[in-house]
Structure 1
Amino acid sequence: MDASSRRPALTVALCFIVALIEGFDLQAAGTAAAGLRQSFALDPKMLGWVFSAGIVGLLPGAFFGGWIADRIGRKKILVAAVLLFGLFSLSTAYVDSLQGLLLARFMTGLGLGAALPNLIALCAEAVGEQRRGTAISIMYAGVPLGGALAALVAMLFSERWQATFVIGGLAPLLVAPLMLLLLPESNAFRQQQGHPGLARTSTGQALFGESRARVTLALWLSYFFTLTVMYMLLNWLPSLLLEQGFSKPQAGLVQMLFNLGGALGSVLGGLLLDRCNGIKVVVGVYAGLLAALAGVGLSVGLLPMACAGFAVGLFVMAAQLVLYALAPPAYPTRVRATGVGAAVAIGRLGSVAGPLAAGQILAAGAGTAGVLLATSPGLMLAALAAISLLARATPPGTPGLDATQAAAPKS
């Protein structure tokens, strides 16, 4: 393997490791919820604030992490983000007050949010256009696998909830020096240094200038509604299963299969988008997600529910990966991390809205069927917005991301 092929492989491998740790830390609070509740004497409302503090931190982290990276470099911001969420994940294990816990979770979320747009940008810029979706999907498969690892650690250390945060904090602190030594900065970013328009490019111009308004708004719409459903499932799936009469161990099994399906969907989403007609991939993925959600609502036995849980994880993560692969080519290099970061931030708004909306629907007495039915209009809007991106500039039948590439202004 020559140097030109080793560099992309090294970038994707290191970004996969960071994504694995990110997935672990994203679900750490959920897997340690029982221990947190007992140690800090939290009622359900206050525990919800602990969860929300981390999610709220994701939004400004994603936006500003991308914006700053377009100015000083993807690698620098990614390493800083990894150190940030590692330090505050570790501190979560040692805080002794509710205020300290809320601050630690917010700062962890800030670092996690800043990492993702730079992981996407680095992987997208490390490979050629025809392998962009594949590279992003391999990297992002680490997130659901990290979530499954968090659940496993919580099971192994069920009496010591702090262990989850110690492991989730030490791992990024150990990986950061490795990234400093081995992770290459994006060649595309290096070539943009000294670009005459970079310093003058405002955030508004980056997102909406040069005829990018339609692309940006379509991405935001797709990200918002897809992430709404994803985080609703991450937060509420066990509770919805319990409401349907399943036991806690059965709900835990379905949740694990949901994460494993997500890992497979992550890889398949990017592979299919690189090799098949993009519009057909979007239609298939979102139709599959709607069918899988119906399966969750209608299944009455453990085996059908386990299959439905695996399928809904597969399709919701595949949908997310399609969107993550569509965003980078929609923006020129000099504003790419800003564009991706803004889209991820809008998705984080959905991640806050989804659990809240599900709670309100359940409180109104609509039940599991009502929650799942309420997701359908948003998912159809997300699919239509993604299709509009792919259909903009390329005739039907052209595979992969070429439509978005043709629509995007050149670097």
Structure 2
Amino acid sequence: MSPNEPAEPIATGVFAVAKQSFGDLFKWKQRVLITNEYGEERTEWQAPEPLPNPFSLFAQLSLRDWVFFIVGWCAWTADAFDFHALSIQTTKLADYYGQSKTNITTAITLTLLLRSVGAAFFGLAGDKFGRKWPMVFNMIVLGVLQIATIYSSTFQQFLAVRSLFGLFMGGVYGNAVAMALENCPVNARGIMSGIMQSGYSAGYVFAACANLGVGGETDTWKIVFWIAAGLSIGVGLVRILFPESKQFREAKAARKAAGDKGGHTTSAFWQETKNMLAKEWKMCLYCILLMTWFNYYSHTSQDSYTTFMLTQKEMENAGASRASILMKVGACAGGTTIGYVSQWFGRRRAIIVSALLSATLIPAWILPEGESALSATGFFIQFFIQGAWGVIPIHLNELSPPAFRSSFPGITYQLGNMISSPSAQIVNAIAEKTFVTLDNGDRVSAYGPVMGVATAIIALGIAVTTAFGPEKRGRKFEQARAAGVVVEPAKDIEEGFYEEKPATERIEKVENKS
């Protein structure tokens, strides 16, 4: 018998779930579904454990866990460096190709549009074949495409290469997050999720540092892209040196011990994928909506921020780069801190509070003048923007069907990216047609007001969507089997053992018996 108080069953149906989720937001204890060894389910209220010392959480990870986490983090960071190598150099690229800044951001739109295709392909490959080789292939091809960008002599070639870049970039997130977090101890997931998500901000910081180091000359954008190519290819080569994830190694060993030499079949995998989508389509749509808001949140507030400082604030490249670096240092700190706190405070509450606090900081973010003031306010608003983001990797993993923790987070994340893909282009297009007059009399593009209004709307949208959505904090998925593999009881109950077989093989045996 559990010492915890019984709770009403988890609701079914969109409106019932929304009503229950909103009500649970104001209860300190969490409604948790418990399944015993006989498959019987009950729902109870569980109080969150007090936050332990973060260093004690780090100590719970084994050396193997740390290796997988660090490689996943490096892949995500290199992916972010690749992306931001373009976004922070929009002005240089506009001068190089003789295009407007809005036209250059078309490349960002195309990249984000095609990321969802890559997420679907490589995410499903990661769930079927393992995390290792899809990631290796992804990272090496990304490096090659960065080099191809450097040698794009025309604007049309540039756009074509960046489209291909988006296709392969989309496959990184799901595999990297699954590999980094799937073996973390339950009570360490919050802080590790925050650190994992901060890799995106770290990639921005490294790209901004590279941009600062090469100077403001037009052609220097190529040097940053060379660095990005080296990082991506390097991570891919390092990943070759480490084994497949524990989940797939154990599933393979179990199949071999049971005499299944062929592994789980392709038909079984796709059948389980189809069944998952039929059962979880509402969760899929919810996560896509949530990730659409979140991707608008980050891209609206950061992709044009360097351009905002160069254009509206009339800063030099060096000052704008330094302010961008400090802004994203705040993002790294916020992602780690809020992710850690979410383990105790709750995933949804952490997201909502962070989003609302970021909205209150918008005036302080866009109104100040000078590098020091903009650096400080940028630091604090990104602390909360990326603080909300820091909860997302583990929140998506906990909402995912356990056997699809590579494809589900990656696909929903990148579909949200696809829908929000015009965000930077929209900001630039509106800002370049709207003007403000500075104290010195200059009329400049109104990047600050445009970003401020958009970010306020998005932050409120995130708060509302999260408040009415589900939460499965503390969900146990460490023992989840690979998709396409089921546990089949032995034929003779006296044998007293179970073996793993592909779902299609089990179905065929039942049909033959009939």
How many angstroms apart in 2 are the aligned matches of 1:305 and 1:378?
A: 21
- Does 2:359 correspond to 1:282? no
AA matched with 1:94: Y
1:163-182 to 2 correspondences below 5 Å: 163-182=223-242
How many angstroms apart in 2 are the aligned matches of 1:90 and 1:49?
A: 19
Residue 439 (structure 2) aligns with: none
Shift of 1:383: 2.2
How many angstroms apart in 2 are the aligned matches of 1:341 and 1:142?
A: 16
Conserved? CA contact 1:125–1:187, under 8 Å: no
Shift of 1:241: 4.1
- Does 2:188 correspond to 1:131? yes
AA matched with 1:325: I
- Structure 2: which 5+ runs fail to align? 1-57, 253-262, 436-445, 482-514
How many angstroms apart in 2 are the aligned matches of 1:60 and 1:253?
A: 35
1:384-399 to 2 correspondences below 5 Å: 384-390=464-470
Shift of 1:223: 1.1
1:10-409 to 2 correspondences below 5 Å: 10-158=67-215, 159=217, 160-182=220-242, 184-191=243-250, 198-202=269-273, 205-207=275-277, 209-210=278-279, 212-241=280-309, 245=313, 247-248=315-316, 250-299=319-368, 303-362=372-431, 365=434, 367=446, 368-390=448-470, 401-402=473-474, 405=475
AA matched with 1:219: C
- 1:98-126 Cα offsets, whole Å, 9 max, x none, are 33322322222222221111111112212
Shift of 1:265: 1.8
The DSSP-based 3-state class of the residue aligned with 2:153 is coil
Conserved? CA contact 1:67–1:337, under 8 Å: yes
AA matched with 1:218: Y
The DSSP-based 3-state class of the residue aligned with 2:468 is helix
AA matched with 2:226: V
The DSSP-based 3-state class of the residue aligned with 1:120 is helix
Structure whose CA Rg is larger: 2
How many angstroms apart in 2 are the aligned matches of 1:238 and 1:4?
A: 38
How many angstroms apart in 2 are the aligned matches of 1:167 and 1:362?
A: 31
The DSSP-based 3-state class of the residue aligned with 2:193 is helix
Shift of 1:280: 3.0
Q: Which has the higher strand share?
A: 2
Shift of 1:270: 2.0
AA matched with 1:150: A
Shift of 1:5: 0.9
* Gap change, CA 1:215 and 1:339, over 3 Å in 2: same
**Percent same amino acid at aligned positions?**
19
How many angstroms apart in 2 are the aligned matches of 1:69 and 1:55?
A: 20
- Structure 1: which 5+ runs fail to align? 394-400
Shift of 1:243: 6.1
The DSSP-based 3-state class of the residue aligned with 2:270 is coil
Q: TM (normalized to structure 2)? A: 0.69
AA matched with 2:449: A
Residue 8 (structure 1) aligns with: 65
* Gap change, CA 1:235 and 1:43, over 3 Å in 2: same
Residue 396 (structure 1) aligns with: none
AA matched with 2:404: V
- Count of aligned pairs: 397
Conserved? CA contact 1:262–1:316, under 8 Å: yes
Conserved? CA contact 2:87–2:304, under 8 Å: no
AA matched with 1:373: V
Shift of 1:128: 2.3
* Gap change, CA 1:137 and 1:195, over 3 Å in 2: farther
How many angstroms apart in 1 are the aligned matches of 2:244 and 2:326?
A: 36
Conserved? CA contact 2:116–2:170, under 8 Å: yes
Q: TM (normalized to structure 1)? A: 0.85
How many angstroms apart in 2 are the aligned matches of 1:314 and 1:84?
A: 32
